[in-house]
A and B are shown apart, each in its own frame.
Chain A
Amino acid sequence: MIKLICIDCGNFTFFETDVQGLKGVEPTEEGIIINDSFVENWNYSDETIRGNLTDIIDYVLKQPDDTLRFDYEANKYYNIYITCARCGSRLVTIPSSEWNPTQELLPLDDELLENRKDFQQLRKERSYENNLPVLWKP
């Protein structure tokens, strides 16, 4: 399933983004040692990069309109977080938007009427609503 697509080159696999990571600094007599930071065998540096990367990707996928800015000179929208790793373009977006749905949605009332029988069937199967709550016991 395509999650993001580059409008310039059509790439939907390889992308780039900037994230903040953490490095461990250990001062010694000879100088300082830079390496990954560990907290009881748990690599804190790796997890920070992975977590921040996942956060940015989830945000871009969930809020695509917030992550796009309009470039008045180019007359195009560009992504402020993610770039294409193949061509370096910032014209990266999700393949379709809720503002441009691929299928026409029914009005909610029509959809409810259409699914009425299914809901009635479900209502019969829902056992937990068939009993009144016991408020008092003698």
Chain B
Amino acid sequence: MKITCPSCGNHKKFLVPLWVRCTFRFNEDGTISILHVKQLESLEEKLANQNSFPALSCCECGAEAEIEFNEFESIDNRKREKMALEAI
């Protein structure tokens, strides 16, 4: 898997927003304490749907990131085209 930012070329750090359910408590002094945080969304689904519903963004510039799940797909395609031409 290859993740890149088309805007600045960053390929190291990205951000993804995730909805979570917070259980909290009101303390006697008026402050709030978080007791539990439960993830509500699947990160895998978010990454898989990145091309149709972009969620992953670049940590450096905030642009939408691009995910390439199979880096060797383009090489395979070229091989297949070559083999098809040879067969003809």
Please determine whether A49 and B26 come into contact, CB atoms closer than 8 angstroms: no
CB of A18 to closest CB in B, whole Å: 5
Please determine whether B25 and A14 come into contact, CB atoms closer than 8 angstroms: yes
Q: Given the complex, which residues of A lie within 8 Å of B1, measured CB to CB?
A: 27, 31-32
Contact residues of B: prevailing secondary structure: strand
Q: Given the complex, which residues of A lie within 8 Å of B63, measured CB to CB?
A: none
Q: In chain B, what residue has the closest Cβ to A21?
A: B20
Please determine whether A37 and B15 come into contact, CB atoms closer than 8 angstroms: yes
In Å, the complex CA distance between A17 and B37 comes to 10
A33-54 near B? 1/0 per residue, CB < 8 Å: 0100100000010000110011
Partner of B22, one of A3, A17, A22, A37: A17
A1-24 near B? 1/0 per residue, CB < 8 Å: 101100000001111111111111
Query: Is A26 an interface residue, CB under 8 A from the partner?
Result: yes
Partner of A23, one of B15, B21, B23, B26: B15
B1-14 near A? 1/0 per residue, CB < 8 Å: 11100000001111
Q: Which residues of A contact B (CB under 8 A)?
A: 1, 3-4, 12-27, 31-32, 34, 37, 44, 49-50, 53-54, 57, 85
